[in-house]
A and B are shown apart, each in its own frame.
Chain A
């Protein structure tokens, strides 16, 4: 071997690994792992060098996506006129021949249906909340309601895809992918983008959680959301094989690193350094995920706050507590999806059950983060892919089978923490909670606002693919300025 050449190789290797004291130091790990083979990144946590564009208010996002579409009419959007008109045909000038799903497009009678339970104003802000959501009602002053959401999608999958990826057809990167691509990850031991799913206990709705809801689209596949599973290993293949202890694994990984370093010395390919870091991070993840899912150190009063389901793996409550623990550990984007709101024919029974299952955990998540001082830089969004009709699906005399159809023209979401104004209600719908009356907010506007809170100009976070600069907000979106704190 040529000694001069060797010295060169070694020098390159030192340059590669020399950014921290140890070859396997945390900074080097982060940098190496986020170094795409196709493009180099320069920031310490693997984000883009020109980000953030401005000072971020939020560092991370927890998106509580209520799949199936909760009824804004029953839960938040209080309208005296609806109470007055209960049972009467909704006026044509309100409904106005707008496109409906095939579920009610053939139904000529469209009687207005009042909320199943009363709504009341709460807190200093006086925000209206259904009696079905007592825990949410108790924290309204921490929440910012947007009552003028609208979308042009009337079916679940396209509407969810639109909210999560900015486009109704599958294949674009999801919000979490964009954010981890742009901002990198603050954790070396966990994925930067985690997805968890749950559904109602009765499994009344058959919607599938398609993996493109958390897909990387055309971004490198490492930005895909990692779905934590409700059964078995939370992360696939996390556990060592039977008969192989963590100590044995450690020994094998030490030698693996040694052998790979010999190879790196000889071959000089920086990919080998990446490989060393990749295996080290896998080892750490093997420890940090079990630690993450071990609730034994949670005080009883915290567990109680999330409700009785909190210890049931894969329940909404369990996932909410997990979301807090992920936020604490620096995970950038937690996408928590819960199905069961698609109440076409079972509003009478299912609405209350869904509220009971999700109310306390959602409110607990906000309160818990607040108590820990994490709410300031954690943005929580609660919302569905659309709302539900203020008029009845079904027959007014058949109360047991009352339902509401999909309704994209006006609905309510709430946000909390991360730089949004607490106690604010923004935008409104008309007297029948049917159409937006003022300050409409689209999915793209919401996405632009979320990105803004994380320090990103949504028009400047782009990725060139197939000759076009794509962005989360497609060709639209305006930051909703008034909701910013």
Chain B
């Protein structure tokens, strides 16, 4: 049972905080702050009360209260003073701001301390109208820091992580791997002890949901519980890591971050085809693609030497942004917005930095100037993409993705077309040599060029300018003949066919064959999927600093470069998107591995070490376990960016395996579970709830990949949002039961059965978890859930034995993985009895309930019995325990 050893000490030290610097407002301020101080105190400051850590204790204070005028933004910097860089602090030190007197007395000498604690409004810093002000506690901290020599400079996140040594712990038996040593060391400091391991069925459910997105089957639970070998859990983990559903489960948060959707957004919300990129993602995750390659292929796969089709598809990541192509919109404005989005998405995902403010001005808190923003922007500013509206939602550059069969048929059609064209050519040369001015051309080009040509018949580039007529042949026919065969329009061909039908039947036959073959090719090309990808222009598009981020207000010209505060690009590489992507995953990069592992931790524990997953900057939250974060980051790099290895480490740790039971002590001392003296417990994401229901109902269609599907949705959602311009055509049959990640995502009105979900409009990396009645309504009433309950009832009747008790137990076990207690069992069977009576007496109601959803039911089942079990299963699907990963 976790206990808190040092409560007395905590309370004493917290109460000891006293205003050291007299100020009229302090006593009152202290009263109002005391509860907050106590909380902060408890949140961990006291652990290191003796030693002040600049990164952890001082820089956040300076960032909050000083950086606005003494930080990165040169435009608002006052008195030439800056405290956000090592150099700035050294200059301040040299100027005597942090001096002590001979006796080490800070207050007597330090100009800095004098100014921040002055009671004179004209002197005090920050000025009286600034918000926030320094608290007495913060002033005290700063004083301690100056007394200790005012050491430090850089923000922790911009210094490359060094692999920390495994800390000593109170119970060397507990840790299963390095993760646990860091967690336990912290628990020791907090005076907490870890929880007991979770019961095996619960643990298997937790890890199965975490690694595959669906609960374990009863057979899997039974096998695991029966497996007494010491590595039973490890083997279960290996099985799950190897499951093809691992990639599907791990894809979701990346889809949110990558703002993946099936439409462009904005007015008209035209459709696009980005699911090939989504499939690439699932494949890459399943194959265990190292995170460095994963990064490089998505940001710059097109620039890799001999880029494969798959590597080019991967760059769809960069094209997943929204695109405003509405009429009247200035294309360049859209194009610039898109590049902003690409730059900022990269910033949030890899740099853990919100760059948006630097569009308009130097970042107020972090070392990114407006110039540096546009230098990053320049890396993404060189695709051929334009801002207008093109063929609906597929905005060039696009890449055709013919299937193998399509490729083969297209190749054979290309050959026959060339053969017919040669015959035609020959005939025309012989028979019509007399016609002057006729020019001949050649078929040519790669797939994309061919498709473009086929897709836009009517090119008039080779029409003869000359108008000389030949006896008996009308002008228009001459014109048609003058066009190169490969470039003749449908009108040309028809004209020739009409004209020569009588005179030259064999020629006309060939013309018709040509026409048909071409039509056939066009038709196949029309069926070929096209997905949006990145490319790189040969002539580099110039990049300018844009005043206030306005597309048509260019200021100074800039070239691509990485921010000065971070490691620089190797001098021997070209300055382009590929080098940039490689730079992000350079082992010396201080941010990428940390930011990534923080997100991964969030995936398993609900929150990361840094709660602000998108902001590792000065204003982001401090990491709860900085050393563990650094260890995981260096382990990621050390392992060759092997994400499955890291996932394995996390889920096999003793930390992860703890029971998530919340004892009163833990509820009191660590309600948010930030120190992890217990396992994770929180409501699953809504997409996972739907998948769980499908799995429990035995409805899940395990088909992977392919075009998005349209599950149930109330009538009129799209129509209402688009004034009737778009109508939702729900799928039928097996498509209804595909996993949630395949659900069609219309950007202006996303799937309605998901709640607390990213909007897929811009990059989102934080987990959202709230509770509203609307969520309960969804899982109680949405067709998919009711149908799942109905199908689950059918399963329970077939598989759950013959008594009410055994069946109720079976249903309960399906959902929670554990056996119900006798009290739970009693409630379930009693309810079943009530439902049976009700539906027995109301055949109409029973027949309605068991008809919800489109999947067929076993008509041999008694309707009242089936309805009663459906009601019971719907209740079980809504148990807190079922909705929760625990």
A residues bordering B, Cβ < 8 Å?
Answer: 2, 5, 8-9, 11-12, 33, 36-38, 101-103, 170-171, 191, 197, 199, 203, 206-212, 215, 220-222, 226, 229-233, 235-245, 248-249, 251-252, 255-256, 258-260, 262-263, 266-272, 274-276, 278-279, 281-282, 284-286, 459, 464, 466-469
Q: B517 interface residue, CB < 8 Å from A?
A: no
Known: A12-B667, A252-B871. 7 other contacts (CB 8 A): A171-B761, A211-B749, A215-B759, A240-B781, A241-B786, A252-B831, A467-B618
With beta carbons under 8 angstroms apart, the residue of A221, A266, A459 that contacts B768 is: A221
CA distance A479 to B663 in the complex (A): 49
Chain B residues in 8 Å Cβ range of A240: 780-781
Chain B residues in 8 Å Cβ range of A101: 328
With beta carbons under 8 angstroms apart, the residue of A12, A242, A255, A464 that contacts B851 is: A242
Residue of A nearest to B330 (CB): A102
Do A262 and B824 touch across chains, with their CB atoms under 8 A apart? yes
With beta carbons under 8 angstroms apart, the residue of B615, B830, B847 that contacts A466 is: B615
Do B267 and A466 touch across chains, with their CB atoms under 8 A apart? no
Q: Which of the candidate stretches B216-224, B287-295, B715-723 sits at the interface with the other chain?
A: B715-723
Smallest CB-CB A-B distances: 9 pairs: A467-B619, A243-B849, A243-B848, A282-B776, A282-B773, A8-B664, A268-B662, A222-B770, A242-B848
With beta carbons under 8 angstroms apart, the residue of A33, A258, A259, A464 that contacts B771 is: A33
Residue of A nearest to B63 (CB): A467
Chain A residues in 8 Å Cβ range of B461: none
Q: Within the complex, what minimum Cβ distance (angstroms) separates B623 from chain A? A: 15
Residue of B nearest to A34 (CB): B771
Chain A residues in 8 Å Cβ range of B770: 36-37, 220-222
Q: Which of the candidate stretches B432-440, B577-585, B878-886 sits at the interface with the other chain?
A: B878-886
With beta carbons under 8 angstroms apart, the residue of A8, A244, A267, A468 that contacts B849 is: A244
Q: Within the complex, what minimum Cβ distance (angstroms) separates A280 from chain B? A: 9
Chain B residues in 8 Å Cβ range of A197: 720
Given known A243-B846, A278-B775, A286-B777, contact A252–B874 (CB-CB < 8 A): yes
Do B619 and A466 touch across chains, with their CB atoms under 8 A apart? yes
With beta carbons under 8 angstroms apart, the residue of A221, A281, A468 that contacts B619 is: A468
Do B771 and A278 touch across chains, with their CB atoms under 8 A apart? yes
Residue of B nearest to A39 (CB): B672
Q: B603 interface residue, CB < 8 Å from A?
A: no
Do A262 and B823 touch across chains, with their CB atoms under 8 A apart? yes
Q: Which of A33, A236, A238, A262 has the most CB of B within 10 A?
A: A236
Given known A8-B663, A171-B762, contact A256–B752 (CB-CB < 8 A): no
Residue of A nearest to B757 (CB): A221
With beta carbons under 8 angstroms apart, the residue of A203, A233, A251, A269 that contacts B831 is: A251
CA distance A206 to B722 in the complex (A): 8
Residue of B nearest to A272 (CB): B880
Chain B residues in 8 Å Cβ range of A242: 848-849, 851-852
With beta carbons under 8 angstroms apart, the residue of B328, B782, B847 that contacts A237 is: B782
Q: B834 interface residue, CB < 8 Å from A?
A: yes
Q: Within the complex, what minimum Cβ distance (angstroms) separates B136 from chain A? A: 19
Chain B residues in 8 Å Cβ range of A8: 663-665
Chain B residues in 8 Å Cβ range of A220: 768, 770
A-B contact pairs, 26 of them (CB 8 A): A5-B663, A9-B664, A171-B761, A171-B762, A199-B723, A208-B723, A212-B761, A232-B714, A236-B714, A241-B874, A243-B867, A244-B845, A244-B849, A255-B831, A259-B879, A267-B660, A267-B661, A267-B681, A269-B681, A270-B662, A271-B681, A271-B880, A271-B884, A274-B771, A279-B773, A467-B618
Within 8 A of A (CB), among B744-796: 748-749, 752, 755-756, 759, 761-762, 768-778, 780-783, 786
CA distance A275 to B716 in the complex (A): 30
Residue of B nearest to A275 (CB): B880
CA distance A197 to B719 in the complex (A): 13
Q: Within the complex, what minimum Cβ distance (angstroms) separates B170 from chain A? A: 22
With beta carbons under 8 angstroms apart, the residue of B748, B781, B883, B884 that contacts A239 is: B781
With beta carbons under 8 angstroms apart, the residue of A230, A241, A467, A468 that contacts B720 is: A230
Given known A229-B716, A255-B827, A467-B354, contact A237–B661 (CB-CB < 8 A): no
Do B886 and A267 touch across chains, with their CB atoms under 8 A apart? yes
Chain A residues in 8 Å Cβ range of B682: 37, 271
Chain B residues in 8 Å Cβ range of A221: 755-756, 768, 770
Residue of B nearest to A12 (CB): B664
Q: How many contacts A-B (CB < 8 Å)?
A: 223
Total number of B residues with any Cβ neighbor in A under 8 Å: 95
Chain A residues in 8 Å Cβ range of B851: 242-243
Q: Within the complex, what minimum Cβ distance (angstroms) separates B173 from chain A? A: 22
Do A208 and B722 touch across chains, with their CB atoms under 8 A apart? yes
B residues bordering A, Cβ < 8 Å?
Answer: 1, 63, 131-132, 267, 328, 354, 356-357, 364-366, 612, 614-615, 617-620, 660-665, 667-668, 671-672, 681-683, 714-716, 720-725, 748-749, 752, 755-756, 759, 761-762, 768-778, 780-783, 786, 821, 823-824, 827-828, 830-831, 834-835, 838, 844-852, 867, 871, 874-875, 878-881, 883-884, 886
Residue of A nearest to B615 (CB): A466
CA distance A357 to B665 in the complex (A): 62
Chain A residues in 8 Å Cβ range of B131: 459, 469
Given known A236-B714, A267-B661, contact A256–B878 (CB-CB < 8 A): yes
Do B748 and A248 touch across chains, with their CB atoms under 8 A apart? no
Do A259 and B615 touch across chains, with their CB atoms under 8 A apart? no
Chain B residues in 8 Å Cβ range of A235: 774, 777
Q: Within the complex, what minimum Cβ distance (angstroms) separates A152 from chain B? A: 12
CA distance A270 to B682 in the complex (A): 11
Given known A231-B715, A236-B774, A248-B838, contact A241–B886 (CB-CB < 8 A): no
Chain B residues in 8 Å Cβ range of A467: 63, 354, 365-366, 612, 615, 617-620
Q: Within the complex, what minimum Cβ distance (angstroms) separates A41 from chain B? A: 13
Do B777 and A102 touch across chains, with their CB atoms under 8 A apart? no
CA distance A215 to B828 in the complex (A): 40
With beta carbons under 8 angstroms apart, the residue of A211, A212, A255, A268 that contacts B663 is: A268
Q: Which of B665, B682, B771 has the most CB of A within 10 A?
A: B771
CA distance A258 to B879 in the complex (A): 10
Do B664 and A278 touch across chains, with their CB atoms under 8 A apart? no
Do A236 and B716 touch across chains, with their CB atoms under 8 A apart? no
Q: Within the complex, what minimum Cβ distance (angstroms) separates B205 from chain A? A: 14
Q: Which of B131, B682, B850, B880 has the most CB of A within 10 A?
A: B880
CA distance A175 to B390 in the complex (A): 36
Chain A residues in 8 Å Cβ range of B761: 170-171, 212
Residue of B nearest to A190 (CB): B773
Do B823 and A278 touch across chains, with their CB atoms under 8 A apart? no
Do B715 and A232 touch across chains, with their CB atoms under 8 A apart? yes
Residue of A nearest to B778 (CB): A237
CA distance A212 to B721 in the complex (A): 12
Residue of B nearest to A10 (CB): B664
Chain B residues in 8 Å Cβ range of A274: 771
Residue of B nearest to A339 (CB): B723
Do A222 and B661 touch across chains, with their CB atoms under 8 A apart? no
Chain A residues in 8 Å Cβ range of B778: 236-237
Given known A232-B714, A466-B614, contact A237–B780 (CB-CB < 8 A): yes
With beta carbons under 8 angstroms apart, the residue of B618, B721, B838, B852 that contacts A208 is: B721
Do B723 and A206 touch across chains, with their CB atoms under 8 A apart? yes
CA distance A275 to B775 in the complex (A): 10
Q: Within the complex, what minimum Cβ distance (angstroms) separates A52 from chain B? A: 17
Chain B residues in 8 Å Cβ range of A464: 619
CA distance A103 to B724 in the complex (A): 25
Q: Within the complex, what minimum Cβ distance (angstroms) separates B724 from chain A? A: 8
CA distance A2 to B365 in the complex (A): 51
CA distance A423 to B778 in the complex (A): 47
Q: Within the complex, what minimum Cβ distance (angstroms) separates A242 from chain B? A: 4
Do B776 and A9 touch across chains, with their CB atoms under 8 A apart? no
CA distance A455 to B615 in the complex (A): 33
Q: Within the complex, what minimum Cβ distance (angstroms) separates B813 from chain A? A: 14
CA distance A274 to B883 in the complex (A): 13
CA distance A33 to B755 in the complex (A): 16
Q: Within the complex, what minimum Cβ distance (angstroms) separates B263 from chain A? A: 12
Q: Within the complex, what minimum Cβ distance (angstroms) separates B782 from chain A? A: 5
